[in-house]
Amino acid sequence: MVVRVWALAVLTAMSLMGADEIALIKSIQGDVTLKRGAEIVSLHKGGVVFENDIIQTGEKGMIGLSFNDGTLISIGPKSVLVVDTYLFAPSQKKFAFDLTLHKGTAAFESGRIGKLAPEKVHFKTSQGIVGIRGTKFVVEVE
């Protein structure tokens, strides 16, 4: 009963803050964790990702995400990825997509934000920033 009340409170708070689901988990394998605020969220295929989530994969962990605009990201083993900012409001012509890969590997294929507003897509690493212009790429950060 306490867990249900707590979960309802969290969902209500997220709703009031305007938190929207921004991506779906399309595939997951091995040890993968998601940190949302101070909480560690259990993951499963079909689960959702929100802005500011931190995704971490273990030694044999991998996860595939499909964002609302059609962007696809695959994150390999021993990786840490943060979804810093995501805004996809095409009817209002508002777009933003900022990711940070702290370590590990990721394959990226841009979706509609990359086509409609490529200057609004940034993929940051400890070595620099990749400006996305409607492309596919793979990146590794040691």
pLDDT value, residue 130:
60
Given a cut of 70, the residues of the chain with pLDDT beneath it are 1-19, 128-134
pLDDT for position 25: 97
Which H or E element spans position 55?
strand 54-57
9 within some domain: no
Residue 6 lies in a domain: no
- In Å, what is the CA distance from 56 to each residue of 7, 35, 42, 47, 77? 23, 8, 12, 15, 9
CATH of the domain at 127: 2.60.120
Which residue has tokens 């009031």?
A: 16
User: Token pair of 112, please?
Assistant: 């509609």
Give the residue numbers spanning the domain of 36: 20-141
**pLDDT at site 129:** 58
Give residue 76's pLDDT.
96
